Chains A and B, each alone.
Chain A
């Protein structure tokens, strides 16, 4: 079971949204990390076969997906970014609608809808109209619809957007549980989400993969580039203008800066342990 793509490219006029990206994804959770505009959504839409690539191909089990049609859609679960729904439907009706679209037999669908509403914590709101739902609740309905057909490939575009911290943790646990022998691709620009659930991270910038690896592997790449420097509080602003500051905290009259830099930023700077967020800032410092 493998989802692969080869030199996948998408141009919008002269703008290159995705630039010859290739990868082969086996079972596991993949975090697609990148700043806004990095090409994550475009790539995901091509992987879902709802956007025609300018060049390149997507394969499922060695077969080109555009030729597979329903056979590919049958194994696919997708949560688009800015997930839209029908406000006059209740959560249960909306899921029943999607289940019908996914070709799930009615009896099975009813059971599955109940199960999933319970899983995403919305069983009590099953009969409420979607227009009364908060953003987070809608997002959970979105996740439930993506899981309806028990997909082998689950593609979630910014699934944690709009969720409160408790909901985010709940969703992360759900995905970790669900993954098993399936392929789960989650795009986000929230580093902690990727750090928490991704077996492997694909970092995108300007339409290309700039890094790929497990979280520890990637974090290792940032080792030696993260420093802690204590300066008088009055100088903190000047430092922030000069280098990438990941964090700073006040300690009395002084400020402790966490700096991302290839070079030791000052003689008093001490190296410290890197995190995914540091790596992210190292690559997207100007955009983040």
Chain B
């Protein structure tokens, strides 16, 4: 414990670590959280060409968006959908755009997916269906969703057999009618802010942890450390533990900041809405809170897994710069090349720490392993951390071997 505490202290003493954490916090919590809520994402719009042209009034706008959404009742039904469309059209007729600008995009998604036959191809703006559809025709919302889902699975090649049965069984557990409230706030949290958390953490984890072992060469302390009574194994374990602890601490810091900003700006309203209100054809029986917990867990476990990978790379090379470059390549390399690879390989790359996406909970992707279909988020959250932890013993062994070469 003493050795771990000292290694941990040593890690945090570095100026590069403190600056990295500060920058990461500023980017994720201040820029991606507070300023996004107050300005870029939810500030009222005078200048539609740039998010920086928004007004600094996100807090008030969010309150008005939430109040508006709440006025349609607690559940998404045919009648509430019809009312939303009528309100959008009425506002449009009066030349008022902003009040419904927010729910408009959500409604547009519902209409385009469930009522494609209502699209007027000869309309000047055919995709903006919410402005012209006859609201009375917006009926059978849930039957249409079921049909659209089955069509989608068929198009995805998932329309038959065990895979289809598994996905539809998941979908059967989704409560209908959907709880309804203001969707776009949660869409921002789950689809943007949290989805990118791991990718951003990867940069800073790489900067901080790449020198874990290679740094001992850099600071020329390796020969000294190897003659200690506690030996390289305990020292390496302490280093690994402090690296993993750092990954958790960085995550906690960002998560605490993110949750605080979310609570201040969004509050807790809508936590029990199903994620299908964001993406209609999702099959996971999850509400917003569960989805948020999943995405945070995804980032945490991914960060721990990635920390393991970075420390292995740090043990493999003697140069801090190389360790950093390889670490960054370990996460951004697969992301960059994935689009050029066959689908199976793309999916496999997604199992590497912080390479896959937490937003797979909105998708119907599966892995077919040993004759069984497994919904991708189950593996995307577990395999990366196991992969990273499996790297740890190799890092310890490799480091000691290098010292004695």
Contact = CB atoms under 8 A, between A and B. Distances in A.
Contacts of B6: 96-97, 100
Nearest to A50: B226
Given A83-B220, A88-B15, A102 B10 contact: no
A207 to B, nearest CB: 19
B64 interface: no
B14 A88 contact: yes
A82 B223 CA distance: 10
Nearest to B235: A101
Nearest to B225: A101
A149 interface: yes
B230 A102 contact: yes
Contact of B229 (A48, A80, A103): A103
Contacts of B336: none
Given A86-B10, A88-B10, A89-B13, A50 B221 contact: no
A51 interface: yes
Given A45-B223, A88-B15, A101 B10 contact: no
B229 A97 contact: no
Interface string A91-129: 001001110111100100000000000000000000000
* Candidate in A50, A89, A98 with the most chain B CB atoms within 10 angstroms: A50
A103 B6 CA distance: 13
B223 A80 contact: yes
User: What DSSP secondary structure best describes chain B's contact surface?
Assistant: helix
Interface residues of B, number: 25
B223 to A, nearest CB: 4
A74 to B, nearest CB: 5
A100 B2 contact: yes
* Candidate in B220, B228, B235, B403 with the most chain A CB atoms within 10 angstroms: B228
Interface in B221-259: 221-231, 235
A45 B404 CA distance: 9
A131 to B, nearest CB: 10
Given A88-B10, A101-B3, A149 B220 contact: no
A145 B227 CA distance: 11
B123 interface: no
Given A51-B404, A88-B13, A100-B3, A78 B231 contact: no
Contacts of B229: 70, 73-74, 101-103, 149
A250 to B, nearest CB: 43
A78 B224 contact: yes
B143 interface: no
Contacts of A51: 404
A56 to B, nearest CB: 15
B49 interface: no
A76 interface: yes
A50 B231 contact: no
A167 B3 CA distance: 32
B219 interface: yes
Contacts of B221: 84-86
Given A97-B6, A101-B235, A85 B225 contact: no
B13 A84 contact: no
A62 B9 CA distance: 40
A280 B326 CA distance: 48
A100 B230 contact: yes
Interface in A41-83: 45, 48-52, 69-70, 73-74, 76-80, 82-83
A83 B283 CA distance: 60
A45 to B, nearest CB: 7
A101 B228 contact: yes
A129 to B, nearest CB: 9
A100 B231 CA distance: 11
Interface in A156-188: none
A98 B220 contact: no
Contact of A50 (B14, B15, B403): B403
A70 B233 CA distance: 11
Minimum-distance CB pairs A-B, first 10: A84-B220, A101-B228, A88-B13, A80-B223, A50-B226, A103-B229, A84-B221, A78-B227, A84-B219, A102-B229
Interface of A: 45, 48-52, 69-70, 73-74, 76-80, 82-89, 93, 96-98, 100-103, 106, 145, 149
30 contacts: A45-B223, A48-B223, A50-B226, A50-B227, A50-B403, A51-B404, A70-B229, A73-B229, A73-B231, A78-B224, A79-B224, A82-B220, A83-B220, A83-B224, A85-B219, A85-B221, A86-B10, A87-B219, A88-B10, A88-B14, A89-B10, A93-B9, A97-B6, A98-B228, A100-B2, A100-B6, A101-B225, A102-B229, A103-B230, A149-B229
